[in-house]
């Protein structure tokens, strides 16, 4: 399944890039994420709860940031598997300035298998969209918060 989208964050591009690489922020913003632990440079072990239609389950997997090119973008690879199947996402995030903020453009490919595919396929598209939207909404909130913290810290 192909996914793509454009979101705007109300922080400068460099700051947006930093947020999008900050495991603490990502863990907070990824829906269902129950842990994101660094295992190597640009590589994190992830635990995530996935709910799709009538099925739900825990996913254990790996998040890898590849080809980092601050502050314009990086490649994100997410792999996970659990009782309800497996998923693999591979995509590119591209950042560009937009006024005082930044635009995040992403596109990628998601593959799922097991019960998620056989039972949840017809809801996968809308569910993915919803989850991504939720991620960016939370990120926007976090970035506003982080922005305030930064001002205070300065």
Partner 1 sequence: MATTISKPATLVGKGIRRQEDPRLITGTAVYVDDIKMPGMHHAAIVRSPHAAARIAGINTEAALAHPGVVAVFTGADVKNLGAVPCASSLPGLRVPHHHLLAQDRVYYTGHPVAVVVATDRYVAADAASLVEVQYDPQPAVADPEKALAAGAPAVHPQWPDNTSFTFHQEGGDTGQAFRDAEIVVKQRITSQRLIPTSIETRGVVAEWRPGEKSLTMFTSTQIPHLVRTLVAGILGMPENHLRVITPEVGGGFGSKLNVYAEEALMCYIAKEIGKPVKWVESRRENFQATIHGRGHVDYYELAAKRDGTMLGLKLKLIQDLGAYHQLLTPAIPTLSVLMMPGLYKFKSISADIIGVFTNCVPTDAYRGAGRPEATHGIERMVDILAAELHMDPAEIRFKNFVGKDEFPYATTTGLFYDSGNYALPLQNAMAQVDYAGLRQEQATARAAGKLMGIGLSTYGEICAIGPSAAMPAGGWESATVKIEPSGKVTVMTGASPHGQGEETTFAQIVADELGVDIDDVMVVHGDTAVVQYGIGTFGSRGTAVGGAALFYALQELKAKIKKFGAMLLGSDNVSLVGGSCVDDATGKSVSFAEMAVAAYHAKTLPPNTQPGLVATYFWEPPNFTFPFGAHIVVTDVDRETGRISIRRYVAVDDCGKIINPLLVAGQVHGGVAQGLGQALWEEAVYDEQGQLITGELTDYALPKASFMPLIESSHTETPSPVNPLGVKGVGEAGTIGCSPAVVNSVVDALSPLGVRHIDMPLTPQKIWKLIVQSGGLS
Is the Cβ of residue 18 or residue 123 nearer to partner 1 in the bound state?
123
- Residues near partner 1 (CB under 8 A) are 57, 81, 83, 85-86, 111-115, 117-119, 121-122
Is the Cβ of residue 122 or residue 126 nearer to partner 1 in the bound state?
122
H runs (alpha helix) in 32-114 = none
Give the list of residues 6+ apart from residue 36 with CB closer than 8 angstroms, or none: 23, 24, 26, 27, 30, 44, 45, 46, 47, 63
**Cα separation of 137 and 15, whole Å?**
16
Is the Cβ of residue 56 or residue 137 nearer to partner 1 in the bound state?
56
């Amino acid at each position: 399944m192909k996914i793509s989208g454009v979101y705007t964050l109300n922080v400068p591009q460099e700051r947006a890039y930093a947020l999008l690489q900050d495991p603490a922020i990502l863990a907070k913003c990824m829906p269902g994420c129950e842990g994101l632990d660094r295992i190597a440079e640009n590589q994190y072990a992830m635990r995530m709860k996935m709910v799709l239609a009538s099925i739900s389950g825990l996913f254990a997997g790996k998040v890898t940031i590849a080809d980092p090119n601050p502050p314009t973008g990086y490649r994100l690879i997410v792999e996970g598997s659990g009782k309800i199947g497996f998923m693999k996402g591979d995509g590119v995030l591209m950042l560009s300035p937009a006024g005082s903020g930044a635009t995040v453009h992403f596109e990628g490919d998601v593959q799922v298998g097991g019960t998620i595919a056989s039972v949840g396929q017809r809801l996968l598209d809308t569910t993915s969209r919803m989850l991504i939207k939720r991620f960016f909404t939370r990120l926007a909130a976090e970035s506003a918060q982080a922005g305030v913290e930064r001002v205070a810290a300065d």
